[in-house]
A and B are shown apart, each in its own frame.
Chain A
Amino acid sequence: GAVVSQHPSWVICKSGTSVKIECRSLDFQATTMFWYRQFPKQSLMLMATSNEGSKATYEQGVEKDKFLINHASLTLSTLTVTSAHPEDSSFYICSARLTGSADGYTFGSGTRLTVV
């Protein structure tokens, strides 16, 4: 079936640096993608919705200048964590809207970010 490929699966970075996470749709065009964050033992929290060719819509409380989302093509959305700090360490998951699937969505496998 349709797959969303998310890279990297894990990354360790130094405090103050920026990290880019890619979410790529394989074999289908993803006009809408979603980015989630998940802290240990907690549920997924929706961060933002990205639509191809337009600005992302951020959920309340999510800093858009810190979490830069780019959805420049129908197959690629990226999340850049800028000036990362230890409190940004989390599991980040992307999802794409997928028409024709049983539930209308498909999820990436997630990226574990550790900021040291």
Chain B
Amino acid sequence: AQSVTQLGSHVSVSEGALVLLRCNYSSSVPPYLFWYVQYPNQGLQLLLKYTSAATLVKGINGFEAEFKKSETSFHLTKPSAHMSDAAEYFCAVKYGTSYGKLTFGQGTILTVHP
């Protein structure tokens, strides 16, 4: 069964510091991978996606993620955190068809300190 694991339910960084949010998937077949962000009292907004093109994917708000097949990982990074990045981040995986379901990780709450 497909699954996604996000290491660390809470990550705290200082403003200007590197953000690293970890995501690992379990499958022998490369999936489609996504990162979504959820701000308080809002829906899920797509940050970026991997769909078997370039392994380094750039998204909105300065975020990027690298697909590493050998490590079954798709970690999300941002070189310099901003206060507005404080939110919950979800990694999600999809296999097969374009209309397949998303399987989400448990989410990581990012806190940014001044």
Whether A and B are associated in the same complex: the answer reads no
Which residues of B approach A to under 8 Å, CB–CB?
Answer: none
